[in-house]
Every structure is written in C-alpha cells, then in structure tokens.
Structure 1
Amino acid sequence: MLMKLLYLSLGGAAGTVSRYWLSGVAQRLAGTAFPLGTFAVNMIGCLFFGAVWGYLENRLLPGSHVRILALTGFMGAFTTFSTYMFETAELVKIGQYAMALLNVVGQSVAGLALVLAGIALGRLL
C-alpha cells in the first residue's frame, strides 16, 4: 500500500507541475481571454489518457503501479477532464448513448451552476 501511495504522489506531483507549465505557456501564446491554457491541457490530457489506456489495457493488471502512476496519479493531477471523457467514451462503446449524453450535458450544466453557486456562497461568507 505504501508503494502505491508513493507512485500516486509522484505521478500527482508531475501532473500538477505539467498542467501548471503547459497551461501557462498556452495561455501566454494565445494572447486572448479564451481559456486556451485549460483547453490545451484538457485536450492533450484526453489524448494522453487514451494512448496510455490503449497501450496498457491488455498488458498490465488494473492495479499495477504503472497504471497508478500514469493514469491515477499523473492524469488525475494533470486533468480529470480526461477521465470524464474516457468514462463517457466507455458509455458510447457499450451503446449507452443516452447515458453518455446525460453525463456530458449533466456535468457541464451542473458544474457551471455549482461554480456560480459556490462563488455566490463564498461572497456571502
């Protein structure tokens, strides 16, 4: 268990630093109010998550240290958007189109509403 936590921590630290750096570089290059840094991180995260999952899917056991380091640790800190899209893709893969749509629309609408509610709540405190 201690080794899993170590791998998770190392992956998480690398993912956090990578997200911070890449997001900052992309945003500076954009020179616009559009959040290109976050967009870039989310899209690259989706590609990386898919590539790592596709490569490891039939090569390693689900609890392996590599999966914990790369997917849970690094990708969890880099962007959880990739996990959200992967889970949606899995729903599409098994033919659960309505659930996939509900996941995308539900999380987007509810997430925006909750951020706005949180901002309002925080201002009241």
Structure 2
Amino acid sequence: MNQILLVALGGAVGSVCRYLVGVGALRLLGPSFPWGTLVVNVAGSFAIGVLAELIVARYGASAELRLLLITGFLGGFTTFSAFALDAVTLFERGATVAGFAYLVLSIGASIAAAVAGIGLMRSVL
C-alpha cells in the first residue's frame, strides 16, 4: 500500500506540473502547435535520464524513491498518450507537415534529451 501511495503522490505532482507547462506554453506560443506536450516530453525524457543515472545507477537509491520520482512524478508528468492524440489531431486537420515535424521533433529530441541527461550525470559524478 505504501508503494501505491508513493506512485500516487508523485503522479499527482507530476500531473499538476504537466498542466502548468501546457497552460504556460499555450499562453506564450498559442494553440497552433502542441508546444506544451513537446516541452513536457523532452523535459521528461531528460529528467528520466538524469534520475535513472543519478538515483538508480550511481547511488542505488531505494525502491521507494524510484517509485516516487520515476514511476510517479515522471509518469504523471510525461504525456506520450497526449502526444499520440496531438499528432493524430494535426493530421486530421490537414496539417501534414506540422504533424510529421511534431513526430520527428518529439521522438528525436526526447531520445537526445534522455542521452544528454545520462551523459550529464556521468560527467559530474
């Protein structure tokens, strides 16, 4: 039961952070492109690289900390289900170039961010 509460707590905080990033991106950049989802996916991928290397590989952190931060917080923060819906919506609107750009940017930048997070932690630890 303690594990479920840790995941739920982390997920709740991550979801609120995802919402705030989405609102901020909408206000700053407008509704023509799903910037909020893109930013969250890239930031979440970077964070999972950092956290996986830092708390799992380097310090052998407790299962509880991994559940709270990686499964809970980042699970609530990242939005690949929203990513899929945003991509479909762009294509359905006839925005084919934007749809493909969104797919390439989301996947490529998220993988690059995860690698960068791992590399950053390996270089400073």
TM bracket (short chain):
0.5 to 0.7
Assess if the C-alpha contact under 8 Å between 2:48 and 2:70 holds in 1.
yes
Match of 1:60 in 2: 60
Distance 2:66 2:79 in 1: 15
Q: Report 1:83-98 matches (<5 A).
A: none
- Structure 1 runs of 4+ aligned residues shifted over 3 Å read none
- The 3 A distance-change label for structure 1 pair 10 and 51 is same
Match of 1:43 in 2: 42
Shift of residue 79, structure 1, vs aligned partner:
0.9
TM-score for the superposition, normalised by structure 2: 0.59
Q: What SS does the aligned partner of 2:60 have?
A: coil
How many residues align structurally? 83
Is residue 20 of structure 1 aligned with residue 19 of structure 2? Answer: yes
Shift of residue 32, structure 1, vs aligned partner:
4.5
Match of 1:3 in 2: 2
Match of 2:95 in 1: none
Distance 1:36 1:67 in 2: 28
Distance 1:13 1:74 in 2: 7
Give the superposed CA RMSD: 2.1
Shift of residue 80, structure 1, vs aligned partner:
5.2
Distance 1:32 1:74 in 2: 26
- The structure showing larger relative contact order (alpha-carbon pairs under 8 Å, at least 6 residues apart) is 2
Shift of residue 31, structure 1, vs aligned partner:
2.2
Deviation track 1:60-93 (CA, whole Å, cap 9, x = no partner) reads 25x6100000000011111154xxxxxxxxxxxx
The structure number with the bigger radius of gyration is 1
Distance 2:32 2:79 in 1: 23
Shift of residue 54, structure 1, vs aligned partner:
1.1
